[in-house]
Amino acid sequence: MYAKHLICTVVIGFIGIFLITIGASGAEPEQIHLAVTETQNEMVVQWGTEEDTQVSCNSPTEIEYGTESDSLDMSQSGTNEMYDWTTCIHTVILPELEGDTTYYYRVGGTGEWSDVYSFTTHSTLLIADNDIRIGAIADHGTSSNAEETTENMLNADLDLVIHAGDISYADDIGSGNGVGDQRVWDEYQNQIEVLASQIPHMYAPGNHEEEGEPHGFEPYETRFYSPGSSSFWYSFNFEGVHIISLSTEHNYDVGSTQYSWLENDLEAAQDNREEVPWIVVFAHKPMYSSNNHGSETEFRDAMEELLYRYQVDLAIWGHDHGYERSYPVYQEEIYSDMTGTEEEPYYQPGATIHIVVGMAGRSLYDFEDPQPEWSYYREASDYGYTYFTVTNDGLLHYEYLRNDGTVGDDFWITKNEPEEEPEVVIDEEENNNENLTDESNNVSKENEIPPIGMLTTIITILIVSSARKRS
């Protein structure tokens, strides 16, 4: 009896240990990507694991990290979430990171760790002591052109990527399957992992992020971290740049929650402009575009006044598959006819410059309508990406790079007031001095005449006097 009980206990024990081992091993981490928070010394790490069910995440959510690749001596755990699909999304926030430092990390947990990846933090100072470079793309997808864009972005020395929506095209229309296809999300996020595991990516929702029932925006909301209380509109400071993500896919009318949030955010950003001088907005549907879909005029009517009131420097959009850059423009009126060269950069141009960056990978649209006056440059013949460099001495340089390596467009803005040209003042003074010299010369010449005249008069008087005496 005792022996039977002992055997049962041992067997149950083995089964328990076996089950615990199975539970702890988890699935292989994939789709590893980074994001930033509102706090400049943190990094968000997210990844996916393929689970057996759509409701229960059995894989651990741990990170080991450190500043030496062979000594991951710090660890952090996080949270995980699922949404009606077998991919579990894990999120860990790494706190109190040193600035300008390379960290090595691996994700997963007991039994199934990823390879070791790395990222380099940017400066933790609010006013940059070094240049920063921010990539900007939209309408990406999983095509070979999209892959080529991603590969090229790997060589661009970026600190951050902002993505203005239409990310994977997993939705009913984008996937071509008539239903939202979550495998497309998994494929996309595995494809972008090579870049997104080392450079943080921040997103704005596009129309292709909204799927039919039952998912809606849930895949987008679950798969991507965003700071603040909304996944759809949020902001953060990245050194000297205040970056705002908006949603053209949700209510933006005057007085709406999103509108009020933007108004308050821009007011605070304006108050903080001495410390963070640049303001950049990005969202999906463009306020200005002369391509296939055209300008999103309802959105523009609602929110453009806020961009103008607070003098937002750049507004970056997607949706139309090509590249287009506007002059500084408000209500279709051009505020500067300069083009922003390196020699003559824009300085307080008076209105926002709008850029459409929808040429990252999905099929390009041809421009069919004539180029409007507010449009400075447009092309839709090549795939590629854009980025802008913000220097520590007040310059912003925006570039569009085609995938063949050539520059499609670029422009400069400065926060430094151009120096007055002093030549005109000097010339006037010199002219005045010359006039004065001439006048004084004339005066002295005139003064020379009286003595000669006087001498002549005296001689004349003497001659006349002498003649009278003789006579």
Shortest reach from residue 88's CB to Fe ion, in Å? 28
Nearer to Fe ion, 206 or 361 (CB): 206
Nearer to Fe ion, 198 or 207 (CB): 207
Given the rule CB under 5 A, which of 76-84, 166-174, 305-313, 445-453 is the region that contacts Fe ion? Answer: 166-174
Residue 112: count other Cβ atoms within 10 Å of its Cβ: 16
Given the rule CB under 5 A, which of 165-173, 184-192, 194-202, 234-242 is the region that contacts Fe ion? Answer: 165-173
Sign of the dihedral defined by the CA atoms of residues 456, 459, 463, 468, in that order: positive
Given the rule CB under 5 A, which of 41-49, 160-168, 410-418, 428-436 is the region that contacts Fe ion? Answer: 160-168
Shortest reach from residue 290's CB to Fe ion, in Å? 16
Q: Give the pair of three-digit tokens for residue 86.
A: 């077998």
Q: Choose which of 207, 311, 391, 392 interacts with Fe ion (CB under 5 A).
A: 207
Nearer to Fe ion, 46 or 149 (CB): 149
Shortest reach from residue 281's CB to Fe ion, in Å? 17
Nearer to Fe ion, 159 or 296 (CB): 296
Does 313 sit near Fe ion (CB under 5 A)? no
Whether the Cβ atoms of residue 127 and residue 238 lie closer than 8 Å to each other? no
Given the rule CB under 5 A, which of 63-71, 315-323, 329-337, 443-451 is the region that contacts Fe ion? Answer: 315-323
Whether the Cβ atoms of residue 118 and residue 198 lie closer than 8 Å to each other? yes
Shortest reach from residue 205's CB to Fe ion, in Å? 10
Given the rule CB under 5 A, which of 60-68, 85-93, 206-214, 246-254 is the region that contacts Fe ion? Answer: 206-214
Does 361 sit near Fe ion (CB under 5 A)? no
Does 163 sit near Fe ion (CB under 5 A)? no
Shortest reach from residue 191's CB to Fe ion, in Å? 19
Shortest reach from residue 144's CB to Fe ion, in Å? 20
Does 206 sit near Fe ion (CB under 5 A)? yes
Does 166 sit near Fe ion (CB under 5 A)? yes
Does 362 sit near Fe ion (CB under 5 A)? no
Nearer to Fe ion, 233 or 238 (CB): 233
Nearer to Fe ion, 173 or 268 (CB): 173
Nearer to Fe ion, 133 or 319 (CB): 319
Does 218 sit near Fe ion (CB under 5 A)? no
Given the rule CB under 5 A, which of 33-41, 71-79, 158-166, 447-455 is the region that contacts Fe ion? Answer: 158-166
Q: Choose which of 106, 122, 242, 319 interacts with Fe ion (CB under 5 A).
A: 319
Nearer to Fe ion, 166 or 304 (CB): 166
Shortest reach from residue 337's CB to Fe ion, in Å? 31
Does 141 sit near Fe ion (CB under 5 A)? no
Residue 292: count other Cβ atoms within 10 Å of its Cβ: 17
Shortest reach from residue 204's CB to Fe ion, in Å? 11
Does 174 sit near Fe ion (CB under 5 A)? no
Does 249 sit near Fe ion (CB under 5 A)? no
Neighbour-count burial for 223-242, b at 16+ CB within 10 Å, e otherwise: bbbbbeeebbbbbbbbbbbb
Residue 147: count other Cβ atoms within 10 Å of its Cβ: 16
Shortest reach from residue 389's CB to Fe ion, in Å? 27
Nearer to Fe ion, 167 or 243 (CB): 167
Closest residue (Cβ) to Fe ion? 319
Nearer to Fe ion, 238 or 383 (CB): 383
Nearer to Fe ion, 219 or 328 (CB): 219
SS3 per residue for 249-266: CCCCCCCCHHHHHHHHHH
Binding residue count for Fe ion, defined by CB under 5 A: 4
SS3 per residue for the chain: CHHHHHHHHHHHHHHHHHHHHHHHHCCCCEEEEEECCCCCCCEEEEEEEECCCCCCCCCCCEEEEECECCECCEEEECEEECCCCCEEEEEEEECCCCCCCEEEEEEEECCEECCCEEEECCCCCCCCCCCEEEEEECCCCCCHHHHHHHHHHHCCCCCEEEECCCCCCCCCCCCCCCCCCHHHHHHHHHHHHHHHCCCCEEECCCHHHCCCCCCCCHHHHHHCCCCCCCCCCEEEEECCEEEEECCCCCCCCCCCHHHHHHHHHHHHHHHCCCCCCEEEEECCCCCCCCCCCCCCHHHHHHHHHHHHHCCCCEEEECCCCCEEEECCEECCEECCCCCCCCCCCEECCCCCEEEEECCCCCCCCCCCCCCCCCEEEEECCCCEEEEEEECCCCEEEEEEEECCCCEEEEEEEECCCCCCCCHHHHHHHHHHHHHHHHHHHHHHHHHHHHHHHHHHHHHHHHHHHHHHHHC
Does 292 sit near Fe ion (CB under 5 A)? no
**Which residues in this chain contact Fe ion in the complex, by CB under 5 A?**
166, 206-207, 319
